[in-house]
Chain A
Amino acid sequence: MTAAPANDAPLLRVDDLHIALQADGRTFNAVENVSFEIGRGEAFGLVGESGCGKSITALSVMGLLRRPLSLGSGRIVLDGEEIQNASAARWRELRGPRIGMIFQEPMTALNPLSPVGRQIAEMFVLHEGASWNEAMDRAEDALRQVRVPSPERRIKDYPHQLSGGMRQRVMIAIALACRPDLLIADEPTTALDVTVQAEIIDLMSELCAAKGTAILMISHDLGLVSNMCRRVAVMYAGRIVESQPAEAIFATPRHPYTRGLVDSLPRLGERARRGRQKLREITGVVPSIVAYPAGCRFNPRCPQATDLCRTTAPPATALPGGLVRCHHHD
């Protein structure tokens, strides 16, 4: 399956993905019926709370699911090639040149015993057959591109000598070194201060736009994701409950969970406009994977739940540029 794809074909297609979790001798569906597409150069956001399955969805696209997690069923198609069952050798060819990844905590993702320049240069040596001399020069350029000050000195620094923001810049330099088609960013700024977060997001968007790299952005922060992505999907308890263009998800959220998220956070300027309103709460807690409720998984917390919601999982209803899974989405 390496037929040249038409240019309007999506870069990445995830189709009916199921991820299984083995625990206590039982199997749970940690991710169910997850489908989405990302176009070339498009920024796509996956939003949800901890445990909703967004990070393992990203791991599956990187071929990094490990026990107790495994791919249940579904297809992952990158540029026309089905990769969900690719060999370990094929995955090594894909990771780096085709797919890059940035993690939440750069300190644990970088090798503490190796200077950062070397870690960037490794990408050119391993994937592009460059010599170490040439690769180190290119690593310095890469550091300059992510706006690390005085890259000629920083290249010799070890990760512990850099601040959190600088380390995340190094991660971006590594992830984008070989101009991948897709960058997966899993909570890339959660560990950073707000002013630094704004800089890193701008840098990421700018570099990806320049290189034509698509982004799969994963975060719990709906505001952050809608700000940098064109389309956003919201996950709850292992399923995508709604996806829409970024503006629409804030202006006209269709799933009660998304609506709850949008309404429950104090928005800047709101108090000056309308006085202090009581925040609309989402009652209850996120269900545990061992006890997902039957039917719609949001039903115990949903103000509109009916008997139908308690028994039958809602099917996907198409929206302009997205979908919603709710029996009462109007």
Chain B
Amino acid sequence: MTEPLLALDDLAVHFKVGSALKGGIRTLKAVDGVTLAVKPGECLGLVGESGCGKSTLALSIMGLVEPTRGEVRLNGTSLAARDRMETARTVQMVFQDPYASLNPRQTVRRTLADPLRLHGVTDKAEVEHRVIDMMTKVGLRPDQADRYPHEFSGGQRQRIGIARALILKPQLVICDEPVSALDVSIRAQIINLLLDLKDEMGLSYILISHDLGVVEHVSDRVAVMYLGRIVEQGGWQEIFEDPRHPYTRALIAAIPDPFLRADPGLARAKAKGEIASALNPPSGCHFHPRCPMRRERCSTDVPVLEPVSTAAGVDAAHVAACHFRDRTA
């Protein structure tokens, strides 16, 4: 088996919140024991709602948050043992809001050239060549290089954000909700661009999104997160065609699709109530208060990720953390 590009091993990130004088210090388990791997050239879709820990997970992969437990390994080496600059050349990030994530006082040229200079590309002609080459790759015109972010539309700004992430030729790019801040008619352009660049440059992606349509379209494998834990993981087709965790089903049922509204199974799968606070998660299975198929043991026994059974036998690549993962109705 090939060595995964990225491996998370029982990663946990806990934050201390509150004060000793007022109600005491409490622990917020933003990420709580996540094990994941991303192979070279693969796109992993990471799905979950706000507060489930997906952004904290992204930050810890970037080395911007210290893990409380477990480790992040890039190309087999622990992040803690790696040179920070080298990590930056391996992992880059595309942010959600192209209005907030670009420096308004830097031209496109400078935004793209700075990382190159910082990482030791000092030859002026080469910097210029790589900046122009990158701009062309993401669909910007070279003559726009001396413009400032405010002169661009949202979609073009996201292209600049993508160019900045790719200019150091990273192996892994974390895309955190890359299209949700964009106008609907612009989203397809950016999704197509991300897919083209992935093939062209041999990139791996972690695509963080709550838009399941986008995740299904782009991902090779999908992981679903709920309150700091992965609750289901598998190939895109298994997750979308045969979801086993009730939360995954609820997410799919929540998508407004005029062609699916006649399906009565979907109405039953909808989740009730709201996401609990990560400060005080429910006992047992975190999802049990909202789950349409909960039983007594769900409030006491914590389910772990285990392979699901299918008609063709046990599918080791498709795991779900639910006591009733193999129940059909």
Question: Does B237 lie within 8 Å of A272, measured CB to CB?
Answer: yes
Question: Does B270 lie within 8 Å of A199, measured CB to CB?
Answer: yes
> Which of chain B's residues 218-254 have a Cβ closer than 8 Å to chain A?
218, 236-237, 240-241, 250-254
Question: Does B185 lie within 8 Å of A279, measured CB to CB?
Answer: no
| Minimum CB–CB distance for B255 against chain A, Å | 6
Assembly CA distance A16 to B265 (angstroms): 43
Interface centre among B183, B195, B290 (most CB of A within 10 A): B183
Question: Does A278 lie within 8 Å of B192, measured CB to CB?
Answer: yes
Assembly CA distance A276 to B254 (angstroms): 23
Question: Does B257 lie within 8 Å of A279, measured CB to CB?
Answer: no
Q: Which residues of A contact B217 (CB under 8 A)?
A: 266, 270-271, 276, 279
Q: Which residues of A contact B273 (CB under 8 A)?
A: 149
| Minimum CB–CB distance for B15 against chain A, Å | 20
Interface string of A95-121 (1 = CB under 8 A from B): 000000000000000000000000000
Question: Does B274 lie within 8 Å of A285, measured CB to CB?
Answer: no
With A49-B184, A264-B185, A271-B217 already in contact, the answer to whether A223 and B258 are too (CB < 8 A) is: yes
Question: Does B216 lie within 8 Å of A221, measured CB to CB?
Answer: no
Question: Does A195 lie within 8 Å of B254, measured CB to CB?
Answer: yes
> Which of chain A's residues 160-212 have a Cβ closer than 8 Å to chain B?
163, 165-166, 193-199, 201-202
Question: Does B189 lie within 8 Å of A281, measured CB to CB?
Answer: yes
| Minimum CB–CB distance for B240 against chain A, Å | 7
Q: Say yes or no: is B24 at the interface (Cβ < 8 Å to chain A).
A: no
| Minimum CB–CB distance for A282 against chain B, Å | 4
Question: Does A165 lie within 8 Å of B212, measured CB to CB?
Answer: no
Question: Does B255 lie within 8 Å of A194, measured CB to CB?
Answer: yes
Assembly CA distance A295 to B273 (angstroms): 49
Q: Say yes or no: is A86 at the interface (Cβ < 8 Å to chain B).
A: no
Q: Which residues of A contact B275 (CB under 8 A)?
A: 193, 195-196
Q: Say yes or no: is A216 at the interface (Cβ < 8 Å to chain B).
A: no
Q: Which residues of B contact A224 (CB under 8 A)?
A: 256
Question: Does A198 lie within 8 Å of B257, measured CB to CB?
Answer: no
Q: Which of A193, A198, A246, A260 contacts B210 (CB 8 A)?
A: A193
A162, closest chain B residue (CB): B274
> Which of chain A's residues 226-274 have a Cβ closer than 8 Å to chain B?
226-228, 246-247, 250, 257, 260-261, 264-272
Assembly CA distance A197 to B255 (angstroms): 9
With A165-B274, A198-B253, A266-B213 already in contact, the answer to whether A246 and B258 are too (CB < 8 A) is: yes
Question: Does B257 lie within 8 Å of A265, measured CB to CB?
Answer: no
Q: Say yes or no: is A304 at the interface (Cβ < 8 Å to chain B).
A: no
Q: Say yes or no: is A50 at the interface (Cβ < 8 Å to chain B).
A: yes
Question: Does A266 lie within 8 Å of B214, measured CB to CB?
Answer: yes
| Minimum CB–CB distance for A188 against chain B, Å | 13
Question: Does B241 lie within 8 Å of A267, measured CB to CB?
Answer: no
Assembly CA distance A271 to B290 (angstroms): 30
Interface string of B28-62 (1 = CB under 8 A from A): 00000000000000000000011000000000000
Question: Does B274 lie within 8 Å of A198, measured CB to CB?
Answer: no
With A195-B49, A266-B213 already in contact, the answer to whether A227 and B257 are too (CB < 8 A) is: yes
Question: Does B250 lie within 8 Å of A195, measured CB to CB?
Answer: yes
| Minimum CB–CB distance for A230 against chain B, Å | 12
> Which of chain A's residues 110-150 have a Cβ closer than 8 Å to chain B?
149
Q: Which residues of A contact B255 (CB under 8 A)?
A: 194, 223, 268
Main secondary structure of the interface of A (DSSP, over half): helix
> Which of chain B's residues 260-306 have a Cβ closer than 8 Å to chain A?
260-261, 270-275, 290
With A195-B49, A199-B272, A227-B261 already in contact, the answer to whether A265 and B187 are too (CB < 8 A) is: yes
Question: Does B254 lie within 8 Å of A166, measured CB to CB?
Answer: no
| Minimum CB–CB distance for A262 against chain B, Å | 10
Question: Does A250 lie within 8 Å of B184, measured CB to CB?
Answer: no
Assembly CA distance A198 to B290 (angstroms): 14
Q: Say yes or no: is A40 at the interface (Cβ < 8 Å to chain B).
A: no
Question: Does A163 lie within 8 Å of B191, measured CB to CB?
Answer: no
Question: Does A198 lie within 8 Å of B270, measured CB to CB?
Answer: yes
| Minimum CB–CB distance for A261 against chain B, Å | 6
Interface string of B173-186 (1 = CB under 8 A from A): 00000000001111
Question: Does B240 lie within 8 Å of A272, measured CB to CB?
Answer: yes
With A269-B240, A281-B192 already in contact, the answer to whether A166 and B257 are too (CB < 8 A) is: no
Question: Does B183 lie within 8 Å of A265, measured CB to CB?
Answer: no
Q: Which of A220, A227, A265, A278 contacts B213 (CB 8 A)?
A: A265
B219, closest chain A residue (CB): A271
Question: Does A194 lie within 8 Å of B153, measured CB to CB?
Answer: no
Q: Which residues of A contact B218 (CB under 8 A)?
A: 266
Question: Does B185 lie within 8 Å of A260, measured CB to CB?
Answer: yes
Q: Say yes or no: is A329 at the interface (Cβ < 8 Å to chain B).
A: no
Question: Does A261 lie within 8 Å of B184, measured CB to CB?
Answer: yes
Q: Say yes or no: is A289 at the interface (Cβ < 8 Å to chain B).
A: no
Q: Which of B188, B236, B259 contacts A279 (CB 8 A)?
A: B188
Interface centre among A201, A257, A282 (most CB of B within 10 A): A282
Q: Which residues of A contact B241 (CB under 8 A)?
A: 272
Question: Does A268 lie within 8 Å of B216, measured CB to CB?
Answer: yes
Interface string of B76-105 (1 = CB under 8 A from A): 000000000000000000000000000000
Question: Does B183 lie within 8 Å of A193, measured CB to CB?
Answer: no
A-B contact pairs, 14 of them (CB 8 A): A194-B210, A194-B254, A199-B270, A199-B271, A226-B258, A265-B213, A266-B216, A267-B213, A272-B240, A278-B192, A279-B188, A279-B192, A285-B155, A285-B156
Chain B positions near chain A (C-beta within 8 angstroms): 49-50, 153, 155-156, 183-189, 191-192, 195, 210, 212-214, 216-218, 236-237, 240-241, 250-261, 270-275, 290
Chain A positions near chain B (C-beta within 8 angstroms): 49-50, 149, 163, 165-166, 193-199, 201-202, 220-224, 226-228, 246-247, 250, 257, 260-261, 264-272, 276, 278-283, 285-286, 301
| In the complex, the 8 A-B pairs of residues with the closest C-beta atoms, listed nearest first | A266-B217, A264-B188, A198-B254, A193-B49, A279-B188, A227-B256, A224-B256, A282-B185
